[in-house]
Structure 1
Amino acid sequence: MKQLSVLLFALFLSLAVSAQNGAYSKGDKLLNVGVGLNSYYSGGLPVGASFEYGVTEDISVGLNVDYLSHKYKAFGEYKFTALYFGARGSYHFNTLLNIENEKIDVYAGATLGYRSFSWSDDYTAGGLKNSYGSGVYLGIFAGGKYYITDNIGAFVELGAIGSTNARLGVAFKF
């Protein structure tokens, strides 16, 4: 899965570098909705969304949320839920890389937020109840978008993105 993520991101980056203005502008409202290709925890399908607003020609800020839950049986029944939410900021490299293709957006950024983690099991010795905790988290990411229409496209992000390190999904621009 990691090799596929790296390959997809490299494809987005190579398209961007060979392109000539970009798909991002000041005032854009950007929504990403996607699924993680893997999980930092033992199972589950991470789902997440982010919303950002373009405050300058190169910088957008907004919010991020990520959810993961998994239930399984092994010497009893176990279930965990991880919820990440926080503030997010991105630098869009379109100007720096001289990207003029209106379909491509290459960006990187950081997230600062809170992780809520809960674990339940029926194992009497405590199981993994204290292995993970809730608290502040810091994430970094790099991503690329390709817009199929003026307002709808696909995206890939790599890095510390909530409960996953690789996410694919649908991108919307308003």
Structure 2
Amino acid sequence: MKKILSTLIVIAILSVTSHSAYAQYEKGDKLLNVGIGLGTFGLYGNGVPINVSAEYGFTNQISGGVYAAIVSTKYLGGDWRYSYVYVGPRASYHFNELLKLNIEKLDIYAGAGLYVRTYSAKYKGGGTYNNDYKTSYTDIVPSVHAGARYYFKPALSGWAEVGYGASPLQLGISFKF
């Protein structure tokens, strides 16, 4: 965990100190996105999804990459623990050129993904019978998203997305390198 945190800090410092010009999304861009979700699908509406994704600009309009998220929560006084893990590819279309937007700090996009979702539930029983319970399953879920990214610095931006996946609303930061 310390290595991951150290790596993210180094990437953040390098991104913030970059002196390249602002530009709308373009071919060759590489982004590391880190965020949290507000709300969940399932899990009784509880839990805070944490997500990370990486994307690459294949053209000035199309990017693709991988997405991962985890959300976990306790229920009924902590006796139950529910968790979802999402992992899979996703792609986006960047609309700035199509919409003829000349706002260099803004990137508007929408897309879809296909995730492997692993669900698990655990019950920590007590009492006379000590009836612990565990279950899990894995399935494939489609996702859709629409979002915007605003660049505060050439290599650092904030983003927000709405859609269907791990969370109906996600917020985070992106590092461009």
Short-chain TM bin: 0.7 to 0.9
Structure 2: unaligned runs, 5 residues or longer: 1-21
Amino acid aligned to 1:32: N
Mapped pair 1:59 → 2:75:
no
Mapped pair 1:155 → 2:159:
yes
User: Which residue of the partner structure matches residue 27 of structure 2?
Assistant: 26
Mapped pair 1:101 → 2:103:
yes
User: Which residue of the partner structure matches residue 146 of structure 2?
Assistant: 142
Give, in whole Å, the separation in 1 of the partners of 2:49 and 2:94.
Answer: 25
CA contact (8 A) 1:22 1:99 kept: no
Structure 1: unaligned runs, 5 residues or longer: 1-20
- Superposed structure 1 runs of 4+ greater than 6 Å apart: none
Give, in whole Å, the separation in 2 of the partners of 1:151 and 1:50.
Answer: 16
Give, in whole Å, the separation in 2 of the partners of 1:109 and 1:73.
Answer: 36
CA contact (8 A) 2:142 2:165 kept: no
Give, in whole Å, the separation in 2 of the partners of 1:114 and 1:26.
Answer: 28
Alpha-carbon displacement from aligned partner over 1:128-171 (angstroms, at most 9, x marks no partner): 977x8421110000000100000101100000132x11001112
Mapped pair 1:79 → 2:84:
no
User: Which residue of the partner structure matches residue 94 of structure 2?
Assistant: 92
Match for residue 115 of structure 1 among 111, 114, 117: 117
Q: Provide the secondary structure at the position in 2 that maps to 1:156.
A: strand
So what's the TM-score if we normalise by structure 1? 0.78
Match for residue 168 of structure 2 among 153, 165, 170: 165
Alpha-carbon displacement from aligned partner over 1:94-118 (angstroms, at most 9, x marks no partner): 1101122221000000011200110
CA distance 1:129–1:159, shift in 2 (3 Å)? farther
The CA RMSD measured in Å over matched residues stands at 2.3
% identical aligned pairs: 39
Amino acid aligned to 2:94: H
Give, in whole Å, the separation in 2 of the partners of 1:133 and 1:39.
Answer: 18
Give, in whole Å, the separation in 2 of the partners of 1:160 and 1:153.
Answer: 22
Higher Rg of the two aligned structures: 2
So what's the TM-score if we normalise by structure 2? 0.77
